[in-house]
Amino acid sequence: MKILVTGGCGFIGSHVVDAFVDAGHEVIIVDNLSSGTLANKNERARFYQVDVCTPELDAVIRDERPEVIHHHAAQISVPLSVRDPLTDAEVNIKGTLRLLELSRAHGVKRFVFASTGGAIYGEAGLVPTPEDYVPQPSSPYAISKLSCEHYIRFYEKQHNLGHVILRYSNVYGPRQIPHGEAGVVAIFAEALLDGKLPTLNHFPGEPEGMVRDYCFVKDIAAANLLAAKTSKPGTYNIGTGKGTTTYQLYREILQALRLRGIDLPPLFDQLERAQARAGDIRVSTLNTARAQAELGFRPAFPLRDGLAQTVAWYLARQKGQG
């Protein structure tokens, strides 16, 4: 299959590209390298350094004529979306609409969208949260992602453009940058490797921190493989369904580093603490029963295994081999 991945030089997109290339697909990457890097680029994919918000995108889709588009390019910072909702909407809403228009014009068969479970559901009254829970988006980033979902469903109804929407939980793994939607693993790992005590944000009386559903990026890539194949349109939560507090996560990262011989004295068993920030969500975990039943999605990497691979990558990068 010929598959175009936007954001394919970024954290998640590059793993999605790797999985498609390994599965024998012809892969095209579109990325403006605003947060992605050439170091993440798969050498067996064709690469266009193009911004999804610009008219140059037209020629790429027209000439390449992919069967499927996996749209991962986005403005991913929640705080930036609060400070500058216009920029967020320019990239996330208008960029997605441009791609949808070009998909319709140039015969793309299916559009797969990287949405967000954590941000869209907000502080949900039901956890793990299922797909039919009424979203409570609490940031312009979440609103823009939810708007895109509506446009995508409209294009299926109106123009017969097949779609799969994947609502990711908190994704972690090699190549993650610390300032994205869910960069806490990257923040903790980088701080510890620099010999600094990281800071844990928490609500008053909840010293363990917030609860999140951490999903390893290779499981996310596997979900994209399943989404490329399915003929059923749909919206699916992609995560593990399991909750981990920030402090538990921190302990797991500490242990993974110590197992690799990094000297982190007992002083590191406690970290700096700060108040939760405005808009922080206490608990966010996703019910993935629909993805299991309809896509056959099963996360294969327990947190400990995923963190071991992640920590190994940060260590290699520190030594200049990443």
Ligand X SMILES: NC(=O)c1ccc[n+]([C@@H]2O[C@H](COP(=O)([O-])OP(=O)(O)OC[C@H]3O[C@@H](n4cnc5c(N)ncnc54)[C@H](O)[C@@H]3O)[C@@H](O)[C@H]2O)c1
For residue 169, the minimal CB distance to ligand X (Å) is 7
Q: Name residues contacting ligand X, limited to 136-175 (CB under 6 A).
A: 168, 170-171
CB 51 → ligand X: shortest distance, Å? 4
Q: What one-character DSSP code corresponds to residue 286?
A: B
Note whether 272 and 200 are within 8 A (CB). Answer: yes
Q: How many CA atoms lie within 13 A of 105 on its CB side?
A: 14
Residue 52 binds ligand X, judged by CB under 6 A: yes
| Catalytic residue of the set 48, 121, 133, 141 | 141
The answer to whether 186 contacts ligand X (rule: CB under 6 A) is: no
Based on the shown chain and the rule CB under 6 A, indicate whether residue 35 belongs to the binding site for ligand X. yes
Cβ(145)–Cβ(98) below 8 Å: no
Three-state SS letters, 14-62: HHHHHHHHHCCCEEEEECCCCCCCHHHCCCCCEEECCCCCCCHHHHHHH
Least distance (Å) from ligand X to the CB of residue 8? 7
Tokens representing residue 120 in the block: 């869209």
Quote the distance between the C-alpha of residue 69 and its chain's center: 16
182 binds ligand X (CB under 6 A): yes
Total residues found in the chain within this entry = 322
The answer to whether the Cα torsion of 277, 217, 45, 111 is positive or negative is negative
Task: Establish whether 141 is a catalytic residue.
Answer: yes
**Residue 94 or residue 273: which is nearer to ligand X going by CB?**
94
Smallest distance, Å, CB 20 to ligand X? 15
Q: Is 116 in the site for ligand X (CB under 6 A)?
A: yes
- Within positions 192 to 251, which residues make up the interface with ligand X, using CB under 6 A? none
**Rounded Cα–Cα distance for residues 73 and 303 (Å):** 26
Token pair for 83: 């400070």
74 near ligand X, judged by CB under 6 A: yes
Does the footprint of ligand X cover residue 189 (CB under 6 A)? Answer: no
The only residue of 32, 96, 285, 287 in contact with ligand X, by rule CB under 6 A: 32
Residue 4 interacts with ligand X (CB under 6 A): yes or no: no
Q: How far is CA 120 from the centre of its chain?
A: 13
Beta-carbon contacts of residue 317 (< 8 Å; ≥ 6 apart): none
Question: Which active-site residues does the annotation give?
Answer: 141
Residues that bind ligand X (CB under 6 A): 6-7, 9-13, 30-36, 51-53, 72-74, 76, 91, 95, 114, 116, 168, 170-171, 177, 180-182
